[in-house]
Every structure is written in C-alpha cells, then in structure tokens.
C-alpha cells in the first residue's frame, strides 16, 4: 500500500506534467494577448508571469474550481485585470493612438499572432493591422473570439461584461474593419 506522501508526490508530478504541457500549448497566444493589454513586451511578460503563478498556486492549493479546461479563461481574466492594475500603479493613462510601444527591438507588427496557414503573408499582415487599429475593447473581442477560440459567453464571463455588449463590440469591430477595407482593399 502506498502512503499519503507517495500518493501526494505522484499527484504533484502528474499535475506538473499537465501544467507544463498546457503552458507550452498556450504560451504564445497568452503572451500576445498580454502585449495587446499592456502595450509593450516587458510589461506583458511580467503580467503573464504573475497570472501564471496565480493560477499555479490556486491549482496547487486546491482553491481553483474547475479543471484544466477553465485554466485558459482564468489566465485571460487575470492578465486583463493585472494589466489594468499595472497601468494604474504606474500612474499613467494610456491613450489609444493605434500603436503599440515596443521594447528590446521587438516589433509588434512582425509578431505573427494571427496564424492562418491558407492565407498569404500579406493578407495575414493586413488583417493583423486592421485588428491592431481598432480600439482595445473591440480588438480584445476579435482576438479572443477568432484567434484564441473563446466563445462570446466565455469572453463575457472573463471581462465581466454582458453578452450583448460583447456581441455588439464584435459587430462594431467588423463594421470598422469593413469600412477600412472599403477604403484600402486587400490586394491579391
């Protein structure tokens, strides 16, 4: 018979492997979401690290309600809240100017956060530019829904907004992107 410490060690090892695999599978999209929230890579990395630690501690302590299928929504929500807190703590208001601050020579324009194998590089870049030029609250809905696969209900739960607000933001974002495409169509 196994004693409690052996069972606990085996459970911890299994959870650690599951956690590592989950992080590896989701790190890219989480980092890109964090940079969209923070507007620069350094803050995004800090926020992502804190959000990951919060989730890890909640899971380890057994205070996290739900299984691995809820981890992604939890981290998205934590990133969003931590980014807001960081902005307040720095005592600055970030005005939306359509651009993103970069550090360490990393250009956000070159970060391929939209992965569509069938699209040409130009089209991918153009769509990414259209989303980047949206106000953050509208871009957030598009990124979470269409590039990270969350449902509108999951986005509403994560942001604390009503479902109707989220779907309205999606429609508004599409309208703005459509207007821009009418002015400057994607060349083929």
Residue 67, domain CATH: 1.10.1740
Note the pLDDT of residue 37. Answer: 85
The CATH code of the domain that includes 117 is: 1.10.10.10
Note the pLDDT of residue 120. Answer: 59
**Same structural domain for residues 91 and 120?**
no
Which regions in the chain score pLDDT beneath 70? 1-16, 91-120, 122, 186-188
Note the pLDDT of residue 29. Answer: 87
Cβ pair 169, 155 in contact under 8 A = no
| Domain residue limits at 138 | 112-188
Q: What distances in angstroms separate CA 73 from CA 24, 92, 145, 161, one per listed residue?
A: 16, 27, 12, 14
| Tens-digit pLDDT profile for residues 48-74 | 999 988 888 888 888 888 888 888 888
**Same structural domain for residues 64 and 145?**
no
Choose the final residue of a domain: 54, 72, 102. 102
Place of tokens 């990270």: 148
Rounded to whole angstroms, how far apart are CA atoms 120 and 117?
8
Q: Is residue 107 part of a domain?
A: no
* First and final C-alpha spacing in the chain: 68
**Same structural domain for residues 62 and 121?**
no
| Tens-digit pLDDT profile for residues 86-114 | 887 776 444 444 444 444 444 454 555 55
Please state the pTM of the whole predicted model.
0.57
Note the pLDDT of residue 119. Answer: 47
């Amino acid at each position: 018979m196994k004693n409690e410490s052996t069972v606990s060690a085996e459970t911890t090892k299994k959870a650690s492997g599951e956690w590592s695999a989950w992080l590896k599978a989701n790190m890219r999209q989480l980092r890109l979401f964090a940079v969209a929230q923070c507007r620069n890579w350094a803050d995004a990395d800090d926020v992502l690290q804190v959000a990951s630690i919060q989730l890890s501690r909640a899971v380890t302590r057994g205070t996290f309600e739900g299984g691995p299928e809820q981890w992604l929504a939890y981290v998205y929500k934590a990133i969003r809240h931590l980014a807001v807190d960081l902005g307040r703590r720095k005592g600055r208001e970030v005005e939306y100017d359509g651009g993103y601050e970069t550090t360490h020579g990393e250009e956000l324009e070159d970060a391929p956060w939209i992965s569509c194998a069938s699209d040409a590089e130009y089209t991918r870049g153009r769509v990414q530019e259209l989303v980047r030029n949206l106000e953050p609250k509208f871009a957030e809905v598009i990124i979470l829904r269409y590039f990270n696969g969350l449902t509108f209900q999951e986005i509403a739960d994560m942001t604390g907004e009503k479902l109707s607000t989220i779907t309205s933001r999606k429609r508004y974002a599409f309208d703005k992107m459509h207007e821009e495409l009418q002015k400057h169509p994607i060349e083929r």
